Amino acid sequence: MKSESEIHSNWWRIPWEDLAWVSCGRSENCSIGFSVAKLKSLCDEELSAIKYKNSMVATYKGAKVYLFKFNRDVFPSTREFLLDLLQLRNINCNNLTKFIGLTEGPSGLYAMNEYCTRGDLRDILGNESFTLNWDVRASLTCDVIQAMDYIHGSNLKYHGHLTSLNCVIDSRFVLKVTEFGIQSLRDFDIDVTNKEIIRKLTEIDETPFRPRLDVADVDKDMVNLMKSCWNENPKTRPSFSTIKKEASRLDWDKTGDKFLDNLLSRMEEYANNLEDLVDERTQAFLEEKKRSEELLYQVLPRSVADELRNGRMVDPEAFGCVTIYFSDIVGFTSISSESTPMQVVDLLNDLYTCFDKIIDHFDVYKVETIGDAYMVVSGLPVRNGDRHVVEIAKMSTAILDNVKIFKIRHRPDVKLRARIGLHSGPVCAGVVGRKMPRYCLFGDTVNTASRMESNGEAMKIHVSESTRNLLLDNEDFDLEQREEISVKGKGVMKTYWLNCRDELRLN
């Protein structure tokens, strides 16, 4: 009566509501991400998004469990099914995952097994950064042998679908076989790849279809044992009991003190690989951090970017005198109208890449580009005395020289012509905005520099009187006075054309 009562009890039935959900696959270390109420409200498509190869991870009574889904809608009620469950509960093998029970979810039936934190064997074998020495490989092999020998010697008789996916690794780096038993609930679908493998195995050619082995780093005894397992004659293939004895003879299965040494070897190997992985990830992080910083320094001045990265506010700053450069392309509207949008983008990208390479050789800061307009300043954010006007003047002549030889990819017959304007004076600079912050310049100096460009002429450098006065003592440049012009918002102004001496260009 006691035995019958145990068979027919519902010890194996676990309410779905008793599970708390982890939003990832069994091979990942993750946090609980779904409440029961949330999970119950999910449709099948949404539920499948948190599955991992027909499996899920949850917590039950404070411990993580691994769930495998069956392609069945209801539990059988036969005595044979109940006996199978009782047999699973009584299994006692260190290399088989512990069976906990069955649960019925919104999208089907699930078996609940012990959760192993290190993932499955496929994860380890497929991880190029994780290497296994011979002792660890032999130990994992013995773990599989122990598990399968137990299954073949029990009432289960066979596993039925043993792969690297259902060989899982626990926290002590011991391999355990999972997803065994309850064959009546399983639906073994054979995909195209497996069908092709079966066809090649059954249609025997001169050379039977067998796995390819790189035996350079594999023990010869293990290779011979493996080959005997896929012998063409099934009667000559060794049973797992025979394989276990052979492993013992070859001293693969270490016990006692050897077992402790082996366990420590496994953990040491895992720790060493983990350290290498951490070093690799750390180096990758540092390289990515460096790239991010360099990208940030392209957008904001280095000193400003460092302040923002450290969580400090950047207050606006006044500068007594800087020199500002503006340029644009004469006839750009006409060129754009005769080009596709992608051709316009390519043109500007090629041009500004050329300009960017030039300005790297001078003490200047690129403020921004708007369409075909290019704005540069010298004298901020790092003050450089009176050198700002010389740096901008030299840079301007270098840019003009490169425009003369610039080739438009889609219009090689068209000569590009630039118009450049310079002005020197006081400005205020600061970071504007929180999303995509920009380092902006404010003040009448900016407006005047823009007017110098718009009132200039193609392939000439147009400078204001204040810029001319700062260059008077510099012998590298010739300043040619232009007739007075009327400038919008500024009235009549005396301006100049800036020319670089030939000997400076040669240098």
Do 180 and 214 have their domain in common? no
180 and 324 fall within a common domain: no
- What is the pLDDT, as a whole number, of residue 500? 79
In a domain, 80, yes or no: yes
The domain that contains 466 carries what CATH number? 3.30.70.1230
Give the range of the structural domain holding residue 211, as residue numbers without chain letter. 192-253
Residues 71, 102 share a domain:
yes
What CATH number has the domain bearing residue 156?
1.10.510.10
Two structure tokens written together for 46: 């949404």
Q: Is 394 part of any domain?
A: yes
Residue 334 lies in a domain: yes
351 and 481 part of one domain: yes
Q: What is the mean pLDDT of residues 402-423?
A: 91
Final residue before a domain boundary, out of 226, 253, 280:
253
What Cα–Cα distance (Å) separates residue 341 from each residue in 199, 349, 403, 414? 55, 12, 22, 18
Say whether both 162 and 247 belong to one domain: no
Residue 288 lies in a domain: no
Question: Do 330 and 395 share a domain, yes or no?
Answer: yes
Q: What are the pLDDT digits (tens) for 17-60?
A: 888 876 544 333 332 333 333 333 444 333 333 334 456 888 89
Of 216, 238, 253, the last residue of a domain is 253
**99 and 219 share one domain:** no
269, part of any domain: no
Query: Are residues 475 and 327 part of one domain?
Result: yes
H helices of 54-117, in order, are: 79-89
Statement: residue 368 has pLDDT above 90: no
For residue 25, the model assigns a pLDDT of 42
**Quick one: 189 exposed, middle or buried, by C-beta within 10 A (0-12, 13-18, 19+)?**
exposed
Same domain, 243 and 174: no
Q: With respect to residue 275, please indicate whether it lies within any of the assigned structural domains.
A: no
Does residue 199 or residue 426 have the better pLDDT?
Answer: 426
Same domain membership, residue 75 and residue 130: yes
- What gap in Å lies between CA 229 and CA 222, rounded to an integer? 11
Domain-located, residue 320: yes
497 token code pair: 């054309």
Give the Cα separation of 430 and 316 in Å (integer).
4
- b/e burial code for range 391-414 (CB count within 10 A of at least 16 → b): bbbbbbbbbbebbeebebeeeeee
Per residue in 184-232, pLDDT tens? 777 655 567 677 877 887 777 777 888 877 766 677 888 888 889 888 8
Query: Can you tell me the distance from the alpha carbon of 24 to that of 5, in angstroms, rounded to the nearest whole number?
Result: 38
Q: Which amino acid, 342? A: M
Q: What average pLDDT score do residues 248-274 get?
A: 64
153: helix, strand or coil: helix
Mean pLDDT across the chain: 81
- Whether residues 39 and 153 share a domain: the answer is yes
Looking at the domain assignment, is residue 289 inside a domain? no
24 and 119 fall within a common domain: yes
Task: Quote the percentage of the chain above a pLDDT of 70.
Answer: 82
What's the structural domain count of the chain?
3
Q: Is the pLDDT of residue 424 over 90?
A: yes
Note the pLDDT tens digit of each residue in 443-461.
Answer: 999 999 999 999 999 999 9
Residue 337 has pLDDT above 60, yes or no: yes
Domain final residue pick, 167, 185, 203 = 185
